[in-house]
Structure 1
């Protein structure tokens, strides 16, 4: 199945939706909006992964297995240890394919906002300083820059393994909004 554009009708009524994109692209926001349109639960995968002190929670894989065994859900396609399971169980993949410049503006703004407001993210964790986020190997700003291309590689690999898996490609927030209100809303009925 070729990549579906934002205005193409969906070939199914999706119940298990996986959102692909690089860090800072808006995956979590989009996954939550998809869940609202479909009336299904959204599980933020970062909240399952990050324990106190940014350590991986020991129950992460089991938690992902449990929620993806349910008949309906949305989540983000992250973390190599669970990516194959997520892809196998999803009936629709949505690829948020924003230009790198847009993603970098978004992730920088989000990091600054969270840092200034001292927002708690997951399990007591807070955003480190913007400088740390920029220079540390796994700092989110640097990570977004270095891994932007991997979202496309994941889609290519997925379609190579499972060419029948529907993948919707959204190239802007305007396309996302049109898709949510159009093909996705129409598919839920």
Structure 2
């Protein structure tokens, strides 16, 4: 796995962003979309139908955008079958492997903001009220989900590197590393 940004393509066209919940995948995807003028596809919007029901067309929708020449998206829903679709098409994977204190603080801010403001997320869905989250198990409670999956990417990335040897993987251990790399990207917008 190259940790050196010089090992990555200078003008990536299909980018996957991996990281634990709350690491900043969506925010980075938005920024890369603006910098590189790449269409951004949010997998949460493709997966979650009304009332948080999985959309039956999810994998077909993923296949459709993955077949295009330019995109940036969060690397998630791997247990739902996205890996064999997205990884072979990507020309760069970015792994946000930030310290726990950073990802936990980011997730807390995001969750509280979404819950209090009742902002619509995807397809009419909203974050649960904070009091309701206290009763939820790890599958439903985003804070517990983060704790349960905290080391998922550290376990998976060595396997991914072997399975997809042509896919450059940039691992950023701190947001300042990500910022430094972003400043080196050529802007297309």
**1:165 pairs with 2:167:** yes
Contact 1:133 1:142 in 2 (8 A): no
Determine the C-alpha separation between the residues in 2 that align with 1:131 and 1:107: 16
Determine the C-alpha separation between the residues in 1 that align with 2:147 and 2:168: 27
TM-score by structure 2 length? Answer: 0.90
Provide Cα deviations, 1:54-107, integer angstroms capped at 9, x if missing partner: 110111111100011100000011112212211111110000111112111111
Residue 133 of structure 1 and its aligned partner are, at CA, apart by 3.6
Residue 127 of structure 1 and its aligned partner are, at CA, apart by 0.5
Residue 170 of structure 1 and its aligned partner are, at CA, apart by 1.2
Equivalence for 1:78: 76
Residue 108 of structure 1 and its aligned partner are, at CA, apart by 1.1
**1:179 pairs with 2:178:** no
Equivalence for 2:89: 89
Equivalence for 2:31: 33
Determine the C-alpha separation between the residues in 2 that align with 1:87 and 1:36: 22
SS of residue in 2 equivalent to 1:17: strand
Contact 1:23 1:144 in 2 (8 A): yes
Distance 1:16 1:109, change over 3 A: same
Q: How many residues are matched?
A: 184
SS of residue in 2 equivalent to 1:98: coil
**1:117 pairs with 2:96:** no
Equivalence for 1:144: 146
Contact 2:39 2:70 in 1 (8 A): yes
- Aligned CA-pair RMSD: 1.7
SS of residue in 2 equivalent to 1:185: coil
Unaligned runs of 5+ in 1: none
Unaligned runs of 5+ in 2: none
Q: Which range moves more in the overlay, 134-143 or 119-128? A: 134-143
Contact 2:40 2:73 in 1 (8 A): yes
TM-score by structure 1 length? Answer: 0.90
Determine the C-alpha separation between the residues in 1 that align with 2:108 and 2:137: 14
Provide Cα deviations, 1:1-23, integer angstroms capped at 9, x if missing partner: x32235x3534531100000011
